[in-house]
Amino acid sequence: MKINDMFLKDIHRNIEGVITATQASDEQVYQELDEYVVTKELQGHFKTFFDAYKKGILGDTSSMGVWIQGFFGSGKSHFLKILSYILENKEINGKTAFDFFTEGDETTRKIKDDMTIADMKLAADTPTNVILFNVESKHAAGIEEKNSLVNVFLKVFNNSIGYSTIPQLADLERALDKKDKFTEFKAAFEAIQGESWEKSRNEVDFLEDEVVEALVKIDYFSESAARNWFAKYDKEYQISIEDFAVLVEEYLQAKGNNEHIVFLVDEIGQYIGGNSSLTLQLQTIVEELGNKTRGKAWVIVTSQQAIDKITDIAGSAALDFSKIKGRFETTLSLSSANADEVIQKRILAKNNGAQDFLEADYPNHENDIDSMLVFEDSPELRLYNSAQNYADVYPFVPYQFNLLANILTQISKHSIQGANLSRGERSLLAFFKETAERNADKESDALVSLDQFYPSLEKWLNETDNAKVIKQAEENSRIVPDPDDQFNIAVLKVLFMIKYVDQNIKPTLNNITNLLIRSVNEDKLALRKQVEMALKILISENLIRQNLKSFVFQTDEEQEVTRLINNIDLNETDVDNKLAVDIFDANVGRNSFSYKNIHASGRAFDNRYNFSYNLYVDDYAYRKNSNPNLEVKVITPDYDGLWNDEAQLVIQSTKNQMLINLPVDAEFMNHIKTYLRVEKYITTANVSSAIKNFAAVKAEKTTENQDLGDSINQQLVDFLKQATFYFNNSQLDVSGGDFKTRLNDALQQMAKLVYHKNDLVDAAISEADINNYLKEGADSLVAHNENQNLIDEVKRYLQLQESKKLTTTMRTLRDNFVNKEPYGLVNEDIEWAIARLFKEGDINLFKNAIPLSTTQDLTEISKVIFERKAPEKIRVELRIRSNLQQKKMVKELGDALFESRNIVDENSDDRTRAKFIERAERLKDEFKAYRDTPGRNYPQAEIVTEVIKVMERVVDARDTQSFFEVLKNKEDDLLDLAEDINDIRNFHKSKQKAIWDKSRDYISRIQDNTVKESTAEIDEIITEMTSIMKQVVPYRELPKLGNLNEQFESKYLEFIEIKSKSAAEKVNNDKEETLADLDSRDLDDRFKVKVISRFDQLLNELESYQKLDPIELIPVRSAADKRSFISQFTAEENRIRHEKAKATIEVITQPTVGEKGASYTAEKPVKVIESIQLDSLVDSRTRVKTPEDIDTYVNKIKQELLNKLNDGNEIDILL
Give me the helices (H) in 127-193, please: 135-138, 145-160, 167-178, 182-193
Nearest to 950 by CA among 966, 937, 965, 934: 966
Q: What angle do CA 751, 754, 758 make, to 5 degrees?
A: 75
Nearest to 867 by CA among 881, 852, 885: 852
pLDDT at 423: 41
Q: Rounded to whole angstroms, what are the CA distances from 770 to 456, 610, 813, 828, 853?
A: 88, 21, 17, 8, 16
> Domain extents for the chain?
5-11+351-554, 36-139+258-349, 145-235, 574-754, 759-879, 882-989, 1024-1140, 1167-1215
Distance CA 1170, CA 788 (A): 107
**Beta-ladder partners of 594:** 610
Encoded amino acid at 837, one letter: L
pLDDT at 1042: 86
Distance CA 416, CA 465 (A): 11
Residues of the chain with pLDDT under 70: 16-24, 139-147, 274, 306-324, 415-427, 462-465, 626-627, 687-690, 778-782, 932-933, 935, 1144-1166, 1174-1176, 1180, 1207-1208, 1214-1215
Question: What residues contact residue 58 under an 8 Å CB cut-off, 6+ apart?
Answer: 122
Distance CA 1189, CA 994 (A): 65
Task: Please list, residue by residue across 833-842, b when 16 or more beta carbons sit within 10 angstroms of its beta carbon and e when fewer do.
Answer: bbbbbbbebb
Nearest to 172 by CA among 143, 201, 138, 136: 201
Give me the helices (H) in 103-144, please: 114-125, 135-138
Question: What residues contact residue 923 under an 8 Å CB cut-off, 6+ apart?
Answer: 897, 898, 947, 951, 981
Q: Rounded to whole angstroms, what are the CA distances from 727 to 181, 462, 652?
A: 108, 66, 9
Q: Which residues of 549-687 form beta strands (DSSP E)?
A: 550-553, 592-595, 609-612, 614-617, 620-622, 631-635, 657-661
Phi, psi of 866 (to 5 degrees): -95, 10
Nearest to 707 by CA among 853, 545, 599, 946: 545
DSSP string, 248-294: HHHHHHHH-TT-EEEEEEETHHHHHTT-HHHHHHHHHHHHHHHHHHT
Within 13 Å, how many C-alpha atoms sit on residue 661's CB side? 21
**In this structure, what DSSP letter does residue 585 have?**
I
| pTM for the predicted model, two decimal places | 0.59
Please list the helix, strand and coil fractions of the chain in percent, rounded to the nearest 5, in that order: 60, 10, 30
pLDDT at 284: 92
Task: Please list, residue by residue across 315-347, b when 16 or more beta carbons sit within 10 angstroms of its beta carbon and e when fewer do.
Answer: eeeeeebeebeebbebebebebebbbbbbbbbb
Contact status, residue 813 vs residue 796, Cβ threshold 8 Å: no
Q: What sign does the CA torsion over 136, 137, 143, 149 have?
A: negative
- Region class of 162: left (phi > 0), else alpha (psi between -120 and 50), else beta: left
pLDDT at 554: 93
Encoded amino acid at 1002, one letter: Y
Distance CA 787, CA 760 (A): 7
For domain 36-139+258-349, give the CATH number: 3.40.50
Contact status, residue 1049 vs residue 1008, Cβ threshold 8 Å: no
Nearest to 507 by CA among 473, 544, 559: 544
- SS3 of residue 771 by DSSP: helix
The H or E element that residue 1146 is part of is strand 1145-1152
Contact status, residue 1029 vs residue 999, Cβ threshold 8 Å: yes
Q: How far from the centroid of its chain's Cα atoms is residue 636's Cα?
A: 37
Within 13 Å, how many C-alpha atoms sit on residue 45's CB side? 23
Contact status, residue 396 vs residue 551, Cβ threshold 8 Å: no
Give the strand pairing for 1155-1163 and 657-661. Answer: unpaired
Contact status, residue 287 vs residue 323, Cβ threshold 8 Å: yes
Contacts 24+ apart (CB under 8 A), 718-722: 719/662, 719/663, 719/664, 719/668, 720/583, 720/587, 720/662, 722/663
